[in-house]
Amino acid sequence: MNALLDVQNLSVSFRTESGTVHAVKEVSFSASKGETLAMVGETGCGKSVTALALMRLLDRSATIKGSAIFEGMDLVSASEKEMRAIRGAKIGMIFQDPMTALNPVFTVGDQIAEVVLVHREITKKAARSVAVDMMDLVGIPDARRRATQYPHEFSGGMRQRAMIAMAIANSPSLLIADEPTTALDVTVQAQVMEVLRNVQTAIGLTVLLITHDLGLVAGYADRIQVMYAGQLVESGELNQIFYETRNPYTRALLDSIPSQLGDHGQDLHTIGGSPPSLLSPPRGCQFAPRCRYVVNQCITDKPTLESVSPGHLTRCLRVSEIGVLS
């Protein structure tokens, strides 16, 4: 298998005042070299927590179990020293809000150069030169001059590009993008995703794209994992998920999006109720209380991930009865 990243039974739980919150429950997936894997879901589904857990950026109240093999090393059990060598070098990460991810008191060029200096034995001058090259690569015009500017002199789209530059400066093999365009205007969003795609092709990057925006996913992902209440509920290729989904939550999610192509005037399909508590999860299927296809068995039994066709997995007790949902 050509897997760059192989995650098995990853679980993350947090100790809080009110009890233990199970944010991620036994999630397994793998990403192959060069592909764009999207993790989608709504607020609280655990997608961001998964990414932070892989990078080991969670605080001490978090307990991580399971394994995540990346280039021969298990990220879950690696030491902090080993992780530091990986972050920014082998795995890059970009976040939602570029303003808070960039330090306002250092120039953009210096910040990119720093990432290079931390991981490579080169001179400051050489590092700055790499920084300018990276800024060029991500399409920041007049890069040499702009490298001497501060983050507040950059617009939102430019800052996000700078962050991408920082994340890829050491030619990582994996890039984790956590809601990279949510805070951007739609026209700028298109620019930034274009940059990301160009960069991905240029250096053969694997991208783990975390987002709630299914439109973004439709345009850029190769494979999709749908998450709900800390679990993976469906996983498959782009067209399988969008056109041949076998999971009621995925279907309900797709249905509730107002489409630019669809019918005006009709009420939107909604999902009644709200997501389950992560403190005391329901006994059976997590989605049962809100599912259109629920039967008694769903309340008592926990469904497991099953394969419905090569590469297409879904978590639903009634998968064989209800077939393709469209």
Q: Which residues bind another protein (CB under 8 A)?
A: 16-18, 42-43, 155-158, 185-191, 194, 212-219, 238-239, 242-243, 252-254, 256-261, 264, 267-274, 276-277, 289-290, 292
Closest distance between another protein and the C-beta of residue 234, in Å? 15
Closest distance between another protein and the C-beta of residue 170, in Å? 28
How far apart are alpha carbons 134 and 131 in whole angstroms? Answer: 5
- Which burial class, exposed, middle or buried, applies to 135 when counting CB atoms under 10 A from its CB (0-12, 13-18, 19+)? buried
Closest distance between another protein and the C-beta of residue 171, in Å? 26
Using the minimum distance from each CB to another protein, give the nearer residue, 109 or 157.
157
Using the minimum distance from each CB to another protein, give the nearer residue, 119 or 161.
161
Closest distance between another protein and the C-beta of residue 237, in Å? 10
Using the minimum distance from each CB to another protein, give the nearer residue, 72 or 258.
258
Closest distance between another protein and the C-beta of residue 93, in Å? 22
- C-alpha distances (whole Å) from 56 to each of 52, 174, 177 are 6, 15, 15
Closest distance between another protein and the C-beta of residue 137, in Å? 17
Closest distance between another protein and the C-beta of residue 257, in Å? 5
Using the minimum distance from each CB to another protein, give the nearer residue, 182 or 307.
182
Beta strand 62-70 with 73-74 is antiparallel
- Which burial class, exposed, middle or buried, applies to 206 when counting CB atoms under 10 A from its CB (0-12, 13-18, 19+)? buried
Q: Please say whether the beta carbons of 226 and 249 come within 8 A.
A: yes
Kindly report the three-state secondary structure assignment for every residue of 32-61. Answer: ECCCEEEEECCCCCCHHHHHHHHCCCCCCC
Using the minimum distance from each CB to another protein, give the nearer residue, 141 or 310.
141
Closest distance between another protein and the C-beta of residue 259, in Å? 6
How far apart are alpha carbons 236 and 224 in whole angstroms? Answer: 6
Q: Please say whether the beta carbons of 193 and 220 come within 8 A.
A: yes
How far apart are alpha carbons 211 and 305 in whole angstroms? Answer: 22
- Which burial class, exposed, middle or buried, applies to 293 when counting CB atoms under 10 A from its CB (0-12, 13-18, 19+)? middle
Using the minimum distance from each CB to another protein, give the nearer residue, 86 or 199.
199
Using the minimum distance from each CB to another protein, give the nearer residue, 76 or 291.
291
Q: Which of 197, 292, 187, 289 is nearest to 247 (CA)?
A: 292
Using the minimum distance from each CB to another protein, give the nearer residue, 133 or 185.
185
Q: Is residue 190 classed as helix, strand or coil in its secondary structure?
A: helix
